[in-house]
Amino acid sequence: MKISVVVPAYNEEAVIGRCLDALVSQIVPVDEILVVDNNSSDRTGEIAEKYRDHGVRVIRETTQGLVPARNRGFDEATGDILGRIDADTLVEPDWSQRLAEAFADPTVSAATGPSWFYDAPLHRTGLVAQRLFCHRVNRMLSGHPMLWGSNMALTKECWRELREHACPGPDIFEDLDLAIHLHRLGRKVCYTDRMRAPVSARRIGGSLRDLHRYLRTWHHTYALHGERRAAVGARAFKFAGLVFLFPSVSLMLRAYTPYEGTLSLRKLFSRSEEARPIP
């Protein structure tokens, strides 16, 4: 069973090296890594090219957007299993092994797993929160499993069927879109808790306006697919999160990763987080 991993990337020179380091250091090596350079104006493509000897192939996609970049990578991948992560994802060393275990079941068409923020404090709390809000809440709203775009995979055979149904975007949660169509096609999605891939907290560490713009795509995706109750629920969760959670989370992130010369909480949390593995 050959595994390909697709990494869409736009101006990711700050993180793409670490992402590829994690991929090429898997306990069970992946067979192919495709970095889809989506019109980057920085050194993203140049850095990725340095990993050619480790099975990395760089593809240039000129149509701007995550969905065209993802589609191009999936279309050109040669593996039986097509993994998909983000450029700021740092997969765990046994990620590909867990992925292969999930697809050992021939009835599984897609697999996903949890994440936490590697550049934020309280990793265990982040893991629990991600399981709750990204997987369980969406399952409650939609009635079917969710996919997490930073940590997912599907079979090549499934992608061939799914390709013509997937929405072009741009204002959608592309992973949620795929999950909805997988459900409608009667495909089985497997949630694997040990298939873990930490990501950066940079999105929620930005401005409230940017986070709101991003999260409104959540309920818009449900509405686009005619799932009105789910859209209403997602809108309510988004509002509650922005009003009650964002201020405290943003403050903690700024304290944890502050500007140069200011007090940081990183050392305070790092000892407790590294004391034992995340359950």
Task: For residue 82, give the CATH number of its domain.
Answer: 3.90.550.10
d(CA 177, CA 168): 10
Q: Per mean pLDDT, which range of 2-6, 93-97, 241-245 is the poorest?
A: 241-245
Is residue 63 situated within a structural domain?
Answer: yes
Residues 178-203 have pLDDT tens digits of: 999 999 999 999 999 999 999 998 87
Buried-state track 221-260, b at ≥16 Cβ within 10 A, e below 16: bbebbebeebbebbbebbeebeeeebeebbebbeebbeee
Is residue 245 situated within a structural domain?
Answer: no
What is the pLDDT of the chain when averaged over all its residues? 88
Is residue 18 situated within a structural domain?
Answer: yes
| Residue-range definition of the domain harbouring residue 138 | 3-203
Is residue 161 situated within a structural domain?
Answer: yes
Q: What is the dihedral of CA 214, 215, 219, 220, to 10 degrees?
A: -10
Residues 52-93 have pLDDT tens digits of: 999 999 999 999 999 999 999 999 999 999 999 999 999 999
Tokens for 173? 């949660």
Is residue 20 situated within a structural domain?
Answer: yes
How many domains is the chain partitioned into structurally?
1
Is residue 263 situated within a structural domain?
Answer: no
Is residue 278 situated within a structural domain?
Answer: no
d(CA 19, CA 95): 13
Tokens for 8? 């869409």
Residues 17-54 have pLDDT tens digits of: 999 999 999 999 999 999 999 999 999 999 999 999 99
pLDDT value at residue 19 = 97
At 36, which helix (H) or strand (E)?
strand 32-37
Residues 214-243 have pLDDT tens digits of: 889 999 999 999 999 999 999 998 888 777
CA angle 117, 202, 257 (to 5 degrees): 80
Is residue 254 situated within a structural domain?
Answer: no
More confident position, 256 or 127: 127
More confident position, 149 or 134: 149
